[in-house]
Amino acid sequence: MKHKLVTSNKVYSRDSLDKITSHLNSETVIVLHGARQVGKTHILYLIQTQLENLQMPNIYIDMEDPALLEVFNMGVDAFLQYLKGEGYETDKRLYVLIDEIQYLDNPSSFMKLIADHYKNIHLIVSGSSTFEIKSKFSNSLVGRTVNFEIHPLSFQEFLKFKEVNINLKEALLPVHIQKLEQQYKEFVIYGGYPKVILAETISQKRSIMGQIINTYIRKDIRDFANIEDPDKFNNLIQLLASQTGQLLNVSRLSKEIQLSIPTINKYIFLLEETFILKRVRPTSRSSRVEIVKSPKIFFLDSGLASLFYMRDFPSISTDQMFETSIFAELAKHYGREEINFWRTKAGAEVDFVINRALGEMLPIEAKLSFNSFNMKAILNFSAKYKTKNYKVIGLTGERKNKHYIYPWEIKIL
C-alpha cells in the first residue's frame, strides 16, 4: 500500500480508538483535533492498521508536505487526479487519512465537496489548532463531521505505555497501591505527552518537551496568530503556568507584563484554542456571597506547565501540579466544559464541581495527601446546593471512607 503511515515498532492503543472507529462506516468526516504531539498521528496509524486488517483501501497524506499541500490547494479535481495517479480507484470505497488539515487554504470547502459528492471517499482528518480550524471551517460542515478531542495520555494510558500491568478493575493489594502511587507521582511530574513518557532519561524527556514547546510557539502561534510581541507572549505563558490552579487576574497580569487587557484576553483565548490551558468558570447562584465571574486557569498537562514555568521538570510532585493533573484527568473523562469550581467571597472553596446528568452536581477536592482535606467547604457547598455525594481525590495518607478515592478511580465517579 503506497503512502502508508510508518511509526515505531511498539504500538500502544489509545482509549478513544473504539469510539472513533465506530464511525468508520458512516458518511461523516471524522475530525481529530488536539495539541501537537498528543498522539493524533499515532491514532491515524492505529486506524490505518484496522483498515489494513479489514482489507479496506486507504491512503495517508501529511499536509506538512509542501508538494502535497500544493496539489490539495488546487481543488478536489486535482486531489482526485492525484489519487488516480497513485493507483487508487476513486469510484470505489477509499479511506483517506489527512494529517494537519488546517494547512489547507480552505479545508471546509474541500471536505464539504468530498462529503456531498463522493460518498465512497471517507475522510479521516486531524488538526493541531482549534482556532485555526474554526477560522477555516464554515457552518457548511454542520452535520457532516464527527469531532474527537485528543488529549495527552490519561493515567490509565500512561500505565499502558509504561507497561505497568495492574488490573485497576480488581481489588488492589497494598503493594499494588504503593506502585500506583509512585507511578502517579511520575505522571504528575512529566505529564502525559506520549513521546515524553516513552523517553528513557530525564534529559531526553526535557529535550522532547522543549521541542514540543518550541514547535508550538513557532507553528501554532507565530504562524497562525500574528503575535505582535513574542517575548511578552512567552512571558505571559510562563506567568500563567506559575499560576495554574489559581484565580485569573487579568488586570494584575497586564501590569506585570505591560500588555493591554484586550491583548492578554486575546492571547489566553489562543492558548485555550490550541489546547494549552483552560479557563474554568465558577458555579454560583448568589452574586452577593459567591464568586460569579473570575475564572481559574488550569494547564491541560502538568508536565507542560512545569516546563513553561520552571524550564525544567520538578524533582517531586507538588500540590499545585497534582491539582493540575487531576483537572486534566477530569477533563479527559468528562469534558473540559463540564468542570467548574466554587468559591465564596469569604474564601470557602471547592476545587472542582462536575456537572452531571439531571442537573446533579458533584463537588471534588484534590489533595496530594488525604490527611490535608478539611470538610468545611464541602459541607457549606452541600448545604447550599443540596448535594449528598462528594469526592476527595488524593494519593497518600488515610482514606477515611468511600468518598476518598485515588486518581486512577476517577473514571468510575
pLDDT of residue 61: 95
Domain spanning 17-149: CATH superfamily: P-loop containing nucleotide triphosphate hydrolases (3.40.50.300)
Contact 402, 380 (CB under 8 A): no
Predicted confidence (pLDDT) at residue 117 exceeds the cutoff of 70: yes
Categorize the per-residue pLDDT at 223 as very low, low, confident or very high, splitting at 50, 70 and 90: low
**Is the per-residue pLDDT at 157 higher than 50?**
yes
Residues 287-325: tens digit of each pLDDT: 666 677 889 999 999 999 999 999 999 999 999 999 999
Q: What is the pLDDT of residue 179?
A: 96
What's the rounded Cα separation, in Å, for the pair 303 and 214?
15
pTM for the model stands at: 0.90
Q: Among the residues of 15-151, which ranges form H helices?
A: 17-21, 40-53, 66-73, 76-85, 107-117, 130-136
Domain with CATH 3.40.50.300 in the chain: 17-149
Per-residue pLDDT tens for 30-60? 999 888 899 999 999 999 999 999 999 999 9
Given strand 58-62, what is the order of strands in its sheet? 58-62, 94-99, 121-127, 29-33, 145-149
Nearest Cα neighbor of 96 from 37, 36, 151, 24 is 24
